[in-house]
Copies of this chain bind each other. A is one copy, B any other.
Amino acid sequence: MRISQNKLAYIEEAGLMFEKLGMTRMTGRVLGYLLVCDKDAVTFDQILETLKASKGSVSNSTRQLIQIGFIEPVTFPGDRKTYYRMSDIEIDEILRNRMKLFSDFSSVLAKGRSVKERDDAVSKWLLEASVFYSWVESQIDEVIERWQQEKESIMNQHLEKKS
């Protein structure tokens, strides 16, 4: 049973997307495959074959994805293979991680201000920008909390809109 052309195309798309997000293309492909494979779990070999990639490359990608928490290894008694499947990671986790970039960015801006030797329009901008980014970060925390509380209702609202 070979995988559909559709899905292969999707896997490539996922690879490019994850590359844009700063991960490797191959890691994106493996995740894309796990997302759309329509199997409960897949073996290392299945990944190899489907993506036509090397063992080493797949080994790196699975490790990275496990580390981030996107996927998890599964094993079965009487079967020495390791299977991989999507873990039931909460989506807001992923966002929360990415938001760390904001506080880094905010710090760099703040530090810039401290390096300056005169107080000018740029100083003012640096202050404002660093406050803005750390404020936004705190607001996003609140947004995420609201999501957790109102998830069902938001989902329903969204589905209604489509009909």
Contact = CB atoms under 8 A, between A and B. Distances in A.
B35 A105 contact: no
Given A10-B115, A126-B35, A154-B131, A95 B136 contact: yes
7 contacts: A10-B111, A10-B112, A14-B112, A21-B105, A34-B122, A38-B116, A95-B136
Interface in A114-163: 115-118, 120-122, 125-129, 131-136, 139-140, 143, 146-147, 151, 154-155, 158
Given A112-B32, A115-B10, A17 B143 contact: no
A68 to B, nearest CB: 14
A53 interface: no
A88 interface: yes
A39 B68 CA distance: 44
Nearest to A105: B17
A129 B20 contact: no
A23 interface: no
Contact of A132 (B92, B108, B117): B92
A125 B132 CA distance: 32
